């Protein structure tokens, strides 16, 4: 198997017509190169979009209140209503499929005017009133201190957990923000935690400008009564959040005298549906990439098979000599198949290496320039895919050599010897 | 060593049938050196190819060293060729990208002899042919006589029982032809290897023990030289 003569023969055959060998090899090279690039890009796209989810529970739904659009029970249409604390227990009791239920309030709009002050520094941030359970739905990286806890809720403590950007804007570089005070809408709060988003890109910079305070504190301090801004709910494992969504909307409609047919009154956003759409999209992309990639690769392999046929034909006489001297059909067949596999694997390996190299380069450029992180992140293929592709190449090479090899031994030795 | 009786061979090309061998009977004893003569197209090469298991016969019986040659699969045929037969061709049939030593060593490659060992043996045989200095030359760097001597060394290396030579001197000048015949008679005498030599030249045929004449697919004459 590893006799030098075998490799000498392969070397000779491949070298004899360099251009032809190169063109044949290029077919396979291009096939695997394209497969790698397309797969890597697909992954990059997926990573880019997935980053917007961070570690957020994807089986979650947001529900908020809007204006009614249907007159009902003596109310006219266009009524603005609010959720209240009693809704929480009602939802919890009515819907056993709920895993986490996080009522939330918010103060101040997005990117609003300056609402937080510390000494001479100030900034405009998003301010949320949250329960500790929120950290289970949309976790953050705590850099220092802690998140809101139950005692904060119970005692309505004036404490906040701030995002990294908030700290950067309100504190000196080396300053420790924990136990310091900041003024939110004119009220002093003690900083108990500092966090960093688990997302990347723009999503992350939004996250890092958030300030969380205890839900109860928020309601009381900013005179919200027992109004709730919105609910963030997740379903138990294995249950589609749409089930919870539908039930919750029904319960809330009933409690707030909203017509069952009024679809505009209650705003809701099902993250799971969006997530599934995206997962489906990326699955589709993946399938497409494999079909196109394998197709291209297949074309390359057919090229190899074709050229091996020509090579076998050119070498008919030589193969005849070998057979006259006692080469068994198996020796001839395995020789030709080895040639085919070597040609395929070498060129394929080259394509694989170059493809991965190019992806690494793109990755490096993206990272060093900081560009394109919104849609495209860490393009690359995983190791097992590379190994599988190589295995496919070896098998494909063997298959490509099979027909020519059989052709080589199908003629009688004398006819091969006589061949001019 | 070789025992054939009533061998028939017909070539079919398209709708044409050409009955080339029409019942050949021949016995060759071990160690005999025989020449085969006959007009062009009389079927000499056809007979030699059948004896060499490079082609199959349609009818009749062929015993090689007592082994019945009939309906062999290619693997068995290859093994028999490798073990019992050595070939010398008019056009030498050396493998162009292998040097002289590697060409000589080829039959041993098919016996799975290690490269080092088979190349050492090949050097011995080349030495006997007076070609030691040419061992690492490619065929296209050798003269016709040298090529044929390489081919003879290659035919010998597998220690065959029979050497089949189809016009071995056909491409050589008369001096070189005589040198090649010297080598072949030498081998026949010293190693007791049976030989069949197809030739058109009377002085080549005269150097063998018997000359068989084939006319129109039949043996018509056997002459003792
Ligand atoms: N493969 C083949 N297919 C068809 N016809 C063939 C084939 N090989 C040989 N023949 C024919 O068979 C006849 C005998 O051929 P063969 O080669 O045995 O002759 P030969 O005696 O060796 O002649 P020469 O002295 O010219 O070599 C010729 O007429 C030739 O055309
Ligand atoms: Mg002939």
Grouped pLDDT means (10 residues each) for chain A, 420 residues? 74 81 86 85 79 79 90 88 91 92 80 77 90 91 93 94 93 92 92 90 84 93 89 91 93 91 90 87 87 84 87 89 92 89 88 87 77 62 76 86 90 87
- Say what the pLDDT of residue A35 is: 84
Distance CA A308, CA A66 (A): 71
Q: Which residue has the tokens 């009564």?
A: A225
- Say what the pLDDT of residue A299 is: 86
For β-strands B67-68 and B59-64, DSSP reports them as antiparallel
Q: What is the DSSP letter of A52?
A: G
Chain length of chain B: 225
| Residue A179 · residue A171 · CB < 8 Å | no
Helices and strands in chain A: count of H runs, count of E runs: 14, 14
Which ligand sits closest to the CA of B38? Answer: 1
Nearest residue, CB atoms, B55 vs list A12, A326, A414: A414
> Bridge-partner residues for A195, per DSSP?
A142, A163
pLDDT > 70 in chain B, percent: 100
Closest among A77, A325, A246 to B153, alpha carbons compared: A325
Give me the phi and psi of B87, to 5 degrees please.
-115, 140
**Looking at ligand 1, which residue's alpha carbon is closest to its atom 31?**
B41
Instruction: Mark A1-34 as b/e (b = at least 16 C-beta within 10 Å).
Output: eeeebbeebbeebbeeeeeebeebbbbbbbbbbb
Using CA atoms, how far residue A174 sits from A140, A143, A170, A180, in Å, is 22, 14, 12, 13
- Say what the pLDDT of residue A385 is: 75
Half-sphere exposure of A158 (CA within 13 A, CB side): 14
- Say what the pLDDT of residue A377 is: 67
- Say what the pLDDT of residue B209 is: 92
Minimal C-alpha gap between A340 and chain B (Å): 19
| Residue A300 · residue A313 · CB < 8 Å | no
- Residue A52: exposed, middle, or buried by beta-carbon count in 10 A (0-12, 13-18, 19+)? middle
Rounded to a whole number, what is the distance in angstroms from the first to the last CA of chain A?
A: 30
Distance CA A25, CA A307 (A): 10
| Residue A340 · residue A398 · CB < 8 Å | yes
- Say what the pLDDT of residue B129 is: 87
| Residue B38 · residue B159 · CB < 8 Å | no
Q: Which residue has the tokens 């890009």?
A: A41
Q: Say what the ipTM of the complex is.
A: 0.92
Distance CA A91, CA B191 (A): 106
Nearest residue, CB atoms, B82 vs list A8, A325, A330: A325
| Residue A194 · residue A143 · CB < 8 Å | yes
For β-strands A60-65 and A230-235, DSSP reports them as antiparallel
Chain B residues with CB under 8 Å of A325 CB are 81-82, 87, 106-107, 110, 154, 158
Chain A residues with CB under 8 Å of B95 CB are 318, 321-322
- Residue A216: exposed, middle, or buried by beta-carbon count in 10 A (0-12, 13-18, 19+)? buried
- pTM equals 0.73
Q: Which residue has the higher pLDDT, B58 or A56?
A: B58
Which chain B residue's Cα is nearest to A327?
B110
- Say what the pLDDT of residue A343 is: 86
- Say what the pLDDT of residue B13 is: 87
- Say what the pLDDT of residue A112 is: 58
Distance CA A218, CA A230 (A): 14
Give me the phi and psi of A104, to 5 degrees please.
-140, 150
A321 CA from centroid of ligand 2 (Å): 17
- Say what the pLDDT of residue A372 is: 53
Bin A179: left if φ > 0, else alpha if -120 < ψ < 50, else beta: left
pLDDT band at B52 (very low <50, low <70, confident <90, very high): very high
Q: What is the mean pLDDT of residues B96-125?
A: 91
Minimal C-alpha gap between B197 and chain A (Å): 17
- Say what the pLDDT of residue A2 is: 63
- Say what the pLDDT of residue A113 is: 65
- The pocket around ligand 1, CB under 6 angstroms, is made up of B 11, 13, 18, 20, 38, 40-46
Distance CA A64, CA A209 (A): 22
Distance CA B180, CA B174 (A): 10
For β-strands B194-198 and B210-215, DSSP reports them as unpaired
- Whether the pLDDT of residue B36 is over 90: the answer is yes
Which ligand sits closest to the CA of B39? Answer: 1
Q: Looking at the domain B30-48+74-224, which fold is it?
A: Rossmann fold (3.40.50)
For β-strands A159-163 and A121-123, DSSP reports them as unpaired
| Residue B22 · residue B216 · CB < 8 Å | yes
| Residue A108 · residue A115 · CB < 8 Å | yes
Domain boundaries, chain B: 30-48+74-224
Please state, rounded to an integer, the average pLDDT across all residues of chain B: 91
- Whether the pLDDT of residue B59 is over 60: the answer is yes
- Say what the pLDDT of residue A361 is: 87
């Amino acid at each position: 198997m590893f006799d030098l003569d075998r490799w000498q023969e392969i070397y000779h055959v491949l070298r004899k017509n360099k251009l032809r060998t190169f063109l044949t090899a290029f077919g396979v090279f291009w096939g695997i190169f394209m497969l790698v690039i397309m797969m890597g890009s697909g992954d990059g796209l997926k990573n880019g979009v997935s980053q917007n989810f961070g570690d957020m529970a994807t089986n979650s739904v947001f529900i908020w209140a809007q204006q009614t659009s249907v007159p009902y029970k003596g109310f006219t249409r266009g009524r603005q209503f609010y959720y209240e604390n009693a809704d929480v227990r009602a939802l919890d009791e009515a819907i056993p499929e709920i895993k986490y239920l996080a009522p939330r309030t918010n103060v101040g709009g997005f990117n609003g005017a300056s609402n937080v002050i510390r000494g001479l520094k100030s900034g405009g941030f998003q301010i949320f009133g949250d329960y500790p359970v929120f950290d289970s739905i949309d976790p953050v990286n705590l850099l220092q201190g802690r998140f809101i806890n139950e005692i904060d809720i119970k005692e309505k403590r004036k404490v906040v957990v701030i995002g990294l950007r908030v700290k950067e804007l309100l504190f000196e570089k080396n300053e420790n923000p924990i136990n310091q005070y900041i003024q939110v809408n004119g009220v002093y709060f003690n900083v108990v935690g500092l966090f960093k988003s688990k997302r990347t890109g723009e999503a992350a910079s939004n996250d890092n400008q958030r300030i969380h305070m205890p839900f109860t504190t928020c309601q009381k301090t900013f005179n919200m009564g027992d109004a709730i801004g919105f609910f963030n709910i997740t379903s138990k494992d294995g249950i589609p959040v749409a089930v919870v969504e539908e039930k919750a909307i029904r319960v809330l409609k009933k409690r707030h005298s909203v017509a069952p047919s009024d679809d505009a009154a209650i705003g809701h956003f099902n993250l799971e549906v969006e997530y599934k759409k995206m997962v489906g999209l990326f699955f589709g992309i993946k399938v497409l990439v494999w079909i196109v990639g394998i197709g291209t690769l297949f074309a390359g392999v057919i090229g190899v098979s074709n050229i091996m046929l020509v090579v076998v034909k050119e070498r008919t006489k030589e193969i005849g000599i070998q057979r006259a001297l006692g080469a068994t059909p198996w020796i001839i067949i395995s020789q030709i198949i080895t040639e085919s596999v070597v040609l395929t694997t070498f060129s394929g390996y080259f394509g694989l290496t170059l493809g991965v190299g190019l992806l690494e380069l793109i990755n490096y450029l993206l990272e060093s320039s900081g560009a394109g992180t919104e849609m495209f992140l860490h393009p690359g293929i995983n190791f097992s895919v590379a190994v599988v592709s190589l295995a496919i190449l070896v098998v494909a090479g063997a298959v490509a050599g099979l027909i020519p090899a059989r052709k080589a031994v199908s003629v009688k030795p004398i006819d091969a010897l006589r061949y001019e | 060593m070789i025992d054939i009786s009533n061998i028939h061979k017909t070539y079919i090309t398209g709708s044409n049938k050409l009955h080339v061998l029409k019942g050949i009977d021949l016995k060759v004893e071990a160690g005999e050196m025989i020449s085969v003569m006959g007009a062009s197209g009389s079927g000499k090469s056809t007979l030699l190819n059948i004896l060499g298991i490079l082609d199959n016969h349609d009818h009749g019986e062929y015993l090689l060293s007592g082994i019945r040659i009939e309906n062999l699969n290619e693997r068995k045929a290859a093994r028999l060729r490798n073990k019992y037969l050595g070939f010398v061709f008019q056009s030498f049939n050396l493998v162009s990208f292998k040097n002289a030593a590697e060409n000589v060593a080829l039959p041993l490659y098919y016996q799975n002899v290690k490269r080092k060992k088979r190349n050492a043996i090949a050097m011995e045989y080349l030495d006997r042919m007076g070609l030691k200095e040419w061992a690492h030359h490619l065929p296209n760097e050798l003269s016709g006589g040298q090529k044929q001597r390489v081919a003879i060394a290659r035919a010998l290396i597998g220690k065959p029982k029979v050497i089949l030579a189809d016009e071995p001197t056909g491409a050589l000048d008369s001096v070189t032809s005589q040198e090649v015949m010297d080598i072949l008679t030498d081998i026949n005498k010293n190693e007791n290897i049976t030989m069949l030599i197809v030739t058109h030249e009377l002085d080549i045929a005269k150097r063998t023990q018997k000359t068989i004449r084939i006319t129109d697919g039949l043996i018509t004459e056997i002459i003792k030289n």
